[in-house]
Structure 1
Amino acid sequence: MGDALNILHIISSLDDGGAEGTLYRLCTHDLDNTHVVVSLMDLGKYGPLLTQAGISVISLDMPRGRMNVAGLRRLWQCIRDRRPDVVQTWMYHSDLIGGVIARIAGCRHVFWGIRHTQLIPGESARATIWVARLCAKLSRIVPERIICCAETALEVHGALGYDRERMHIIANGYDVSRFAPNPVAARSVRAELGLAEGELLIGHVARYNPQKDHETLLVALAQLRKEERCPSCLLVGTGIDQNNPSLIARIEELGLTDRIHLLGRREDIPAIMNAIDVHVMSSSFGEAFPNVLAEAMACKTPCVATDVGDAAAILGDTGLIVPSREPIALARAIAQLLDEHGSTAWESRCAAARQRIATSFSIDAMVTAYDSAWRKTKPALSD
């Protein structure tokens, strides 16, 4: 692909999240360029993983939600010292802080990353909405290009005032050798939970956050319980454990204690996706390109998802889409897929789900797209 580029990534944190996971996959699979990752906060989950993979990681240790002069100066100095060919930022705060500091430090080739869709007053953080609106005003000045992970993200931010001429879509990509059917891993997780042979199991992998809308899923399960057809359910993610009293209280209130397993944050997500029969995403807003759908599908696990972000485009005809915040519709869709379980139609659906990810959303396609976007700056990199 030509000479290696030096890419410096700036991200708010390296905690467990979709953007962080995509950054990790991009850096570890792009062998044609050199990558350095700067976290405005701490190393989180992905910092050590990136380091183990041979990627240089710098943590500025700024407090969550607050900038400080020392951190900003360290960021400026890092860019000045390393003189990257491209600065790639990830998400609103990094777009603003990283983009502006990079331009001040003399980097002309700044690429923003948008990985969000709706910003809803009263539900989205006020600071996030303010930063996004400020970025819209700066979008004609700071970034050379704005990379969106989803069509929905481009449309929403174009309407918000972002410069459409600079916007470009690169869909997330997935390693289908890691996320792949694995009956041994599936049996191991099921044995860990003490599940009976053949017991139907659904899963929901998401941190505890209002936009993930666990409430709608719980109410849908309560409806299925009334109909005496409620499957067991794994809830996986940061904040999804016995230390979350409000979640536990709601589960008890709905009479679901014996049907739900709270697993907290797990590192074995491919095994989780293999263990479940259906993955359910109940998010109500904010999603752009939900990674969990593609990860489940790559493991031959069909999905039910709410109609947020590019969920429908990811699923195609391999899963079911329902309106957000409608638990009865969600319950009907879960029941529909589980009723199909084990049939010839089910086997075809599972195979089609994996094929869709392998064909349309491969890690190689994502790496090639980023490399191509960055290299369009190449003639001016020596200026």
Structure 2
Amino acid sequence: MTKKEVIAILYGGKSGEHEVSLRSACSVYHHIDRSIYAPLLIGITKTGRWYLQPEKPIAPDTENLPLTADEAALVSAVPGDGLHCRGRRLDIDAAFPVLHGTNGEDGTVQGLLEICNIPYIGAGVLGSSLSMDKGAAKEIWASRGLSVVPFMRVEAEEFSSSSDLWPKKLKMLKDCFTPPLFVKPVRAGSSVGVSRIENWQALEKALEEALRYDTSALVEPAVNGREIECSVIGNFHTRSFPPGEILPSHSFYDYEAKYIDPDGAALLLPAKIDDTAAAELRRIAEEAYRSAGVEGMARVDFFLEKESGRILLNEINTIPGFTSISMFPRMCEAGGLPYPDLIRKMIVLGKERFEKRSRCLYSILSLSDTD
């Protein structure tokens, strides 16, 4: 009998999106092909401690993975020698970080897994970190000639009550933009900390909210456009899927609409756009993906302006939602890649990248002279 590959599902995390991760990881756990893979659950608390979870069945109707913080099952990372628990190294073939937002999607966990010599699913350190920074990603895309939603960055130090920089920054904002505006943390997801404001009087409160989750915030003009998303997978060679459209019933596609309110948004798959626009969206999605150094998977988000038909890049998510209603797996499935096959493909991509990087030399000495 062929030995099953052990896939460590990392979930939870020290992040404002901790609860979303519990849902996404639960969905991955239920859909992973048990004939090939044996999932190993590692839960990460909101304080950042890692715990090996009990090996017990989880009911198919469970929506959130439980997280048990048993100090006897504390997991430690050993540089060059993987993850350890109870005095032994865990037998892991690859790790799947189903961790949204900070300390999971921003390159930090990816760097730890690299140091521990563990293959992992999803974007690498650079692609994760760059994509997490919405402002930096837009600067890269703009340099490639891709159209992006305009933005201005506000640092916490500029907004400080003791700073004399705020009046100047406020003037710059008013010179460039006209409400309504969106204010969001630079490095967060799932619409955490995001506000839509209708006038300048609401700006400071919105910035205070955004800066609770990050040290920088973005201010952007609201776009009168349709919200279109596109799934992309691959390493050097990429594959995109038919775009989908979000029709939020709230003022925008906020956290509640995404994860709490079952009627928060309608999801159209495929989006009702003509073939030419769909092909262009997919082309731009793949170019945005590659130019940000992303590997493995991502969901690329756009606005399609209603009056002009212009396509504007909004952001890219390197660990998109995997819940039962999340767009990323649904777009892949609509494009001919069912959920279990998607997981299998992403595991293969992660291991391929690991093997490719393992062939690189890290010393000027000959191989026979190294450990």
So what's the TM-score if we normalise by structure 2?
A: 0.36
Instruction: For CA contacts below 8 A with separation 6 or more, give which structure has more relative contact order.
Output: 2
So what's the TM-score if we normalise by structure 1?
A: 0.35
Q: Judging by fraction of residues, say which structure has more helix.
A: 1
